[in-house]
Amino acid sequence: VQIPIVFTGKICAYCGEETELVEDEDIYGTSYGGKCYVCWPCGAWVGCHKGTEKALGRVANKELRTAKMKAHDAFDQLWKRKRANATSVYGRKNARSLAYKWLSKQMGTAPILTHIGMFNLDQCKKVVEICKPYLI
């Protein structure tokens, strides 16, 4: 599966402009030791994996960043619950990757593209709906 360029952080999915790689301090106002890709014309941005220039997902505006946080709030509860259970058949180390495999099937998306950081607004909302019945 070929990953579209909008997932690299280097092109803005909203306006098509190239993003600029900046220190995270330019976005957050304080440094956490990381970098971000930012689209100055429309204000969308994405952080990078710590110590790298690899985007954590797609460039996102405020609405999508909020939706990603809600999706993570729901989804992370599920795999962390499995990880916390030492006797879980999922195992502590594999809980997250197995949860993403499960989510891939639920979403009908290719496993390589099943990551909240890559999702659009509708996909993030779908994650919350899929996870809702399993939350306490």
Q: E strands along 1-128, which residues? A: 20-23, 35-38, 45-47
- Which tens digit of pLDDT belongs to each residue from 46-70? 999 989 999 998 999 999 999 999 9
Q: 110 Cβ partners below 8 Å, 6+ apart?
A: 1, 104
Q: What is the mean pLDDT of residues 127-131?
A: 97
Rounded CA separation 26/35 (Å): 9
pTM beyond 0.95: the answer is: no
User: What counts of helices (H) and strands (E) characterise the chain?
Assistant: 4, 3
Rounded CA separation 115/113 (Å): 6
Output the CA torsion sign for 13, 14, 19, 22. negative
Phi, psi of 103 (to 5 degrees): -65, -40
Tell me what the pLDDT averaged over the chain comes to: 87
